[in-house]
Structure 1
Amino acid sequence: MRQETEQLIQAACAGDKEALSKLLTVCQPDIKRFARRTCSTSEDVEDAVQIALWQLYNKIGTLKTIVTFSSWLFRIVERECYRLFRKKLPLHPYDESHFEQIVSSSNDLDLQIDLTNLIISLPHIYREVLILRDIEEFSAPEVAEKLSITIDAVKTRLHRARAMIRQEFQTHA
């Protein structure tokens, strides 16, 4: 992190409104770039950036150390992208309650957050197959029809998505 940015963060944490305004301007391009990689649509990118900037504006004073600033800010964007993505999923009442049951069956909140973040971080073609097959529990032929791809492509993408998640869990475990 550049020294200028660190000074802006310190001043903003201390309540300097001018520094906070400059910090919002300085951070926006990085937040937007990150959101483009994380969010599923360009509209979600704009919404996630605005939420992140709003959170930064409202909660900068709660930041404990400058070192955590970037991860704190990007985590806000990541959560917002996921929230917007989930909001658009066409879940049926049965599927939604089933998904909530799966998520709530684990008592480990950190594990839930890590798994959610891993799913979000998957490339779009793998993420959509994984969600349709493993969360919404569509059959391979149904997924193939929804995505206009072959059943073999569904199987390949699902295998790769699961392998990516498994590898990330093993790397961070």
Structure 2
Amino acid sequence: MPQTPDEFLNLLQPHYCDALQYCRALCHHPDEAQDLLQQSLVQALEKLPGLREPAKFKSWYFKIITRTFYRQCRQKFWRRFLPLPATVPETQLELPPVFPENDEPANERKNRLLHGLAQLKPKERAALLLFELGNFSIPDIAEIQEENSLSAIKSRLSRTRQKLKELILAAEKNNVNPQNYTGDLTDETKKLAAAFSGRR
């Protein structure tokens, strides 16, 4: 059972890039992804004495990331009902564009994927990304998402893939302007898009 920060870092090191990719794919903005990663690292370090099997560190840590992400989503929902502080200038509320303004087909596909991922429910998005990006097994995803039924995860993945496909096709059909969306998609997410395109 690991106890020290050094032991934690040794366990984290082989999975850090995967965790960062997962956070970036879950969040709409790079700053949100960094916040998610940092909050989950703090929580994991605090809960380190509770890790019984160091061999299961990856699924244990991704479960913490997923729970932190769900908590952030709930907080965002309730923040909508709170007034903005009067001290924040309106110019600070505008988000800068993340994607360059060009019409490359690859960039459009990437942005449509981002748009589709953004419209998925948090639990759907997390399950799909854990499976496709994190290469987690169905039982691992069930444990991370605290589901008792493997068939629930299988059907969630199936429904989510179909829903994402429909969202992307609708965006293509409606010629959605990808410049309206913000987010950060990395090479791993591009692989997800390529795999998704191959299933059509």
* Bin of the TM-score, shorter chain as denominator length: 0.3 to 0.5
Normalised to the residue count of structure 2, the TM-score between the two structures is 0.38
Give the structure with higher Rg (CA).
Answer: 1
Higher relative contact order, chain-length normalized (CA < 8 Å, sep 6+):
2
Normalised to the residue count of structure 1, the TM-score between the two structures is 0.43
Question: Which protein is richer in helix relative to its size?
Answer: 1
